[in-house]
Amino acid sequence: MNSSMPRKPIGISGLAAYIPPYRVWLEDWCNWTDNQWPKIREVVGRSFRVRGPHQSVYTMAANAVIRLIDQYDVDPNRVRFLGLGTESSTDNSAGAIIVKGMVDQALTARGKPPISRRCEVPEFKHACLGGVYGMKGAIRHLALDGAGSLAIVVCADIAEYARGSSGEPTQGAGAVAMLLEENPKLAVVDLIGSGSASDYRIMDFRKPMLRFCGQDRSESHQVQDFPVFNGKYSTTCYIDETLNALNDMYERRKLNSIAHLRSLSTLFLHRPYRRMPETGMAVCYLFALAKGTAEDRAELASYCYESGVNVDVLLAEMTSKPEVSDLAGPERHQTEAYPMTMAVLSAFRASRHYRHEILDKLRLGSDTMLDLGNLYTAALPAWMAAGFEQALEENSLSAGEEVLTLGYGSGDAAEVIPFFMAEGWREATQKIRFADSMELTIDLDRQQYEALHDGRRAKGLDYVPRNEFVIDRVGESDSRHFSDLGIEFYRYIA
């Protein structure tokens, strides 16, 4: 084997989404629950989507995949890798093969060939990072034994929180499918120049199976998947893992951290709600200033002065390596791992640099994301899809330009991956149709929302599915000679 042979670039050639139509306006939700709308609007967003009574993570994933095949005229026989990234799967054995089965059924009904029988069908799970791990797995497949073929990775999730919890306004549901290949048409993914970080955080955000015991599914097909989480501690974990993943990338690429951050015009991060990526990148910017030139450190010192923090104390904190998992307990989970940094962050937010270095770089697609809620694994690719469409309208990206992405999964892990826009990114973006996927909406009243959320039948929903998969029924047999207990059976409605 000639190791000096140049590798073909591998990356993303297309994106397609399925967003359920059922929408809850957060201003309405605030009125129902006596929450403060101005605060929710500023920190969280405008609205979120809810899965329908005949929808699951698998139907949404299949809907996104069939749209991807249609919109990009994909030859199914060339697809040799179909990965599913999710933390909402309800089958502990099968994964992406369920999605493949639905898609094959629809393709065959149309008189088209099914996805290749030689297709690999893995499922990737690590909280919200499963889709990014799926993308990395697909790229490695295309670089080795799958060279010359196509890969699809679909990120699909249902973010649900108990009514009355702090996470309730950050709910969401949807799926985004990615088409990957050699010589990509949308963006080259630079895995060699990426950064990784992981650390076990005990109780950041978990989904133990014990939560499912005793659930009543007699009125609907839904399994309630409310996580065990601790909000402030989760924010601390997100920030710390982002810092470590970025540092890994800086070291791999031998980059000056503050110079590199300033050179970028566009960033996409995992987005559980509006404020989280803003906070994460702002902290990373402050840490980068500390490693910069005398002028950079002077800028950092000005924020310290405004916030009443001693700059030497701040620098000592930034060079420390706090054991975040030590905060994972009932007595300390509200404690900051970087208290001085968070105090200085308030002064930075009030500065003119904050808009230019943080908000402007998170701008593309950000307004659209205010109406999605948290899509877990699909949050990052959804933001990218919305952002690329806005960039197309504004002509604000160029071929070869670096776009930095951050995937994050609670528990705890992060991946910082550079994307470089391809020559054909404009033509590929025209086919995404992300805005179209959000057009169909059914606004829920309080009774309808609470019924769908709680797994009860909702009255007055007149939505008729078209060109999508639904749950037809759930098996109930559990006899000696035949059992289909709990297995979902699907139907494609043309």
379 shares a domain with 430: no
Q: How many domains does the chain have?
A: 2
437 shares a domain with 399: no
Which residue has tokens 């559980």? Answer: 272
Whether the pLDDT of residue 493 is over 90: the answer is: yes
pLDDT tens digits for range 249-295:
999 999 999 999 999 999 999 999 999 999 999 999 999 999 999 99
Binned at pLDDT 50, 70 and 90, residue 341 comes out as: very high
325 Cβ neighbours under 8 A, 6+ residues apart: 199, 200, 201, 202
How far apart CA 132 and CA 214 sit, in angstroms, is: 33
Does a structural domain hold residue 419?
no
Report pLDDT for 453: 94
Whether the pLDDT of residue 98 is over 60: the answer is: yes
Binned at pLDDT 50, 70 and 90, residue 222 comes out as: confident
Which residue has tokens 């030139």? Answer: 293
Report pLDDT for 223: 77
CA max distance for the chain: 77
431 shares a domain with 399: no
Structure tokens at 268: 């996409």
Whether the pLDDT of residue 331 is over 80: the answer is: no
Residue closest to 102 by CA, chosen among 114, 117, 112, 111: 114
Report pLDDT for 206: 86
CATH code where residue 455 lies: 3.40.47.10
3-state secondary structure at position 139: helix
Which residue has tokens 């094959």? Answer: 104
Instruction: Give how far Cα 102 sits from Cα of 56, 120, 212, Å.
Output: 13, 15, 26
Report pLDDT for 221: 66
CATH code where residue 314 lies: 3.40.47
Looking at 407, 435, 461, the residue that finishes a domain is 407
Does a structural domain hold residue 371?
yes
Q: What is the mean pLDDT of residues 396-417?
A: 96
Report pLDDT for 335: 82
* pTM listed for this prediction: 0.94
- φ, ψ (nearest 5 deg) of residue 419: -110, 140
177 shares a domain with 269: no
Report pLDDT for 72: 98
Share of the chain above pLDDT 70, in %: 98
Does a structural domain hold residue 99?
yes
Does a structural domain hold residue 324?
yes
Whether the pLDDT of residue 213 is over 80: the answer is: no
245 shares a domain with 279: yes
Binned at pLDDT 50, 70 and 90, residue 208 comes out as: confident
Does a structural domain hold residue 213?
no
174 shares a domain with 79: yes
Whether the pLDDT of residue 214 is over 60: the answer is: yes
Binned at pLDDT 50, 70 and 90, residue 192 comes out as: very high
User: Can you say whether the dihedral through the CA atoms of 51, 57, 59, 60 is positive or negative?
Assistant: positive
- The terminus-to-terminus CA distance of the chain in angstroms comes to 49
How far apart CA 211 and CA 33 sit, in angstroms, is: 24
Looking at 376, 407, 438, the residue that finishes a domain is 407
23 shares a domain with 91: yes
Burial environment of residue 110 by CB neighbours within 10 A (0 to 12, 13 to 18, 19 or more): exposed
29 shares a domain with 167: yes
pLDDT tens digits for range 54-80:
999 999 999 999 999 999 999 999 999
297 shares a domain with 246: yes
pLDDT tens digits for range 126-174:
999 999 999 999 999 999 999 999 999 999 999 999 999 999 999 999 9
pLDDT tens digits for range 13-36:
999 999 999 999 999 999 999 999
Report pLDDT for 6: 56
Burial environment of residue 164 by CB neighbours within 10 A (0 to 12, 13 to 18, 19 or more): exposed
Does a structural domain hold residue 2?
no
pLDDT tens digits for range 77-91:
999 999 999 999 999
Report pLDDT for 357: 98
Whether the pLDDT of residue 5 is over 70: the answer is: no
Does a structural domain hold residue 403?
yes
Looking at 407, 438, 471, the residue that finishes a domain is 407
470 shares a domain with 344: no
Q: Which range marks the domain in which residue 251 is found?
A: 228-407
390 shares a domain with 488: no
176 shares a domain with 27: yes
Task: Sort strands 10-18 and 187-189 into parallel, antiparallel or unpaired.
Answer: antiparallel
Does a structural domain hold residue 210?
no
Report pLDDT for 327: 85
Whether the pLDDT of residue 334 is over 90: the answer is: no
CA 153-179-135 angle, to 5 degrees, is 40
